[in-house]
Chain A
Amino acid sequence: MKNRLRVLRAEENWSQAELGMRVGVTRQAINAIENGKYDPGLPLAMKIARVFEKKVDDIFTLEDDD
């Protein structure tokens, strides 16, 4: 799964820790998501979408091999 988390976070000028705090996870979790090591579950994906005021689809995109 691809995501635009790093870009959106940069636009808001938030650190990984700050975004993590806003959605209730650690900085490591945000880093793992950004690097594609971890795909968030639906609740976390929705929380992330909410803080960026976007739809989940606008942030996370399924790839062919998913």
Chain B
Amino acid sequence: MSDKEQDTGLRALKRTTLVITAWAASYAVAMQILKHHATSAWVRGGAVALAVCGFLLWMAGTAKAIRRENEFTRQIHLVALACAMAVSVIFIFVCDLLQRAGFIDYVSLMTIFLVMTGAWLLAIMLASLYYR
């Protein structure tokens, strides 16, 4: 690996670490505020805005990182996103039907979010393996 590639990789890793940390920190702070200082609507609204901003920062950072990749890696991400989207839609559809049929209880939004994220990461790994 050349020095230039290594520098680029290190910078990308730093950026990724930074945005993930910012997202995690904003989420943790927002949760603490909602848990302990939930009296004022303005404070609660601020906590929500903070967590959303942290998440948007992570999304922007991830999108930027993918855009900086070469066309082949972008293709892998495109395939992975399509797979993750398909898995998420199927999961939501099946959960909805199972709920209506009375087989399962309410599925939280956080569960759906985690399934989507997990499917996305798994799809990236599988797509990378396929093209290896």
For this complex, into which size category does the number of interface residues on chain B fall? 10 to 19
B62 adjacent to chain A (CB < 8 Å)? no
Tell me the A18-41 residues at the B interface (CB within 8 Å).
21, 24-26, 28-29, 31-32, 37-38, 40-41
Q: Does A44 have its Cβ within 8 Å of any Cβ on chain B?
A: yes
Closest Cβ neighbor of A30 among chain B residues:
B72
State the Cβ distance, A42 to closest chain B Cβ, in Å.
10
- Name the A residues within 8 Å of B128 (CB-CB): 28
Q: Would you call B75 and A38 a contact (CB within 8 A)? A: yes
Interchain CB contact under 8 A, B72 and A29: yes
Q: Are A26 and B70 in contact (CB under 8 A)?
A: yes
Pick the contact of B131 from A21, A24, A28 — CB < 8 Å?
A: A28
* Chain B 63-82 interface residues, beta-carbon cutoff 8 Å to A: 70-73, 75
The answer to whether A28 and B72 touch across the interface, beta carbons within 8 angstroms, is yes
Q: Closest A-chain residue to B71, C-beta based? A: A41
Q: Which residues of A contact B (CB under 8 A)?
A: 21, 24-26, 28-29, 31-32, 37-38, 40-41, 43-44
